[in-house]
Amino acid sequence: MAADPLAQHFIAFALQSGVLRFGEFKTKAGRLSPYFFNAGLFDDGAKLERLSQAYCERLLPHIGTFDLVFGPAYKGITLAAALAMQLARAGHNKPYAYNRKEAKDHGEGGVLVGAPLAGQRVLIIDDVISAGTSVRESIAMIRAAGGTPVAVAIALDRQEKGRDGDRDLDESAVQQVQREQGLAVHAIATLADLMDFVRDAPAAQAHADAVHAYRARYGVTA
């Protein structure tokens, strides 16, 4: 199968921006990973512009499946606003909303800010799905407000087995969200795309064996 051009351009951009690094990094699951992806380093206007363009391009084929963009605090807030602007520029003006970490007891009050969720098909946007906790919390808030969560957009799908204590699971956090919640998950890039990148990009080929070995040990079936 041919490499996905959007994913390949995004990975190259993430590497150039220092968001993606190769080396040896210990994950929260205690694994030694040959790569590290830190979306918090999309930390200036130009990077955020390109990141939101990539989200927009990935989502345009699915534009008719959602009505509103929801960004969970904190990273998702900026992502939701940036994506909403990109969608508007592309001719699809969608409302957006987000949550506070703590309820406000004055003014408009509550934990939700932005457009009303009631009656809306809602896309949740975040950087990654690690354990699925943020997505589940978002789903509960959206449903409580009368909305219907229908999909999740993320920057990178690591496509690796989740953990339950000391035990590796047979599915990833993304797959678990898809199975349990019935939501579509749209990723700009995946670990499979990263494998294509390290195979073909001269600057990254030195890391190809390590990435392939990691995928073989911890990866899930797509």
- b/e 76-88 (16+ beta carbons within 10 angstroms → b): bbbbbbbbbebbe
Please answer whether residues 131 and 161 qualify as being in contact, where contact means their C-beta atoms are separated by less than 8 angstroms. no
List 9, 94, 104, 161, catalytic entry = 104
List 26, 28, 47, 106, catalytic entry = 106
- Collapse the DSSP code of 53 into the 3-class scheme (helix H, G, I; strand E, B; otherwise coil) and give the result: helix
Distance of alpha carbon 75 from the chain centroid:
10
- CA pair distance 151, 178, nearest whole angstrom: 9
- CA pair distance 18, 41, nearest whole angstrom: 7
Q: Is 47 a catalytic residue?
A: no
Q: Is 26 a catalytic residue?
A: no
Contacts of 106 (CB under 8 A, 6+ apart): none
Joined together, the tokens standing for residue 210 give 């390590």
- In 3D, which of 206, 201, 221 has the Cα closest to residue 8? 201
Positions marked active-site: 104, 106
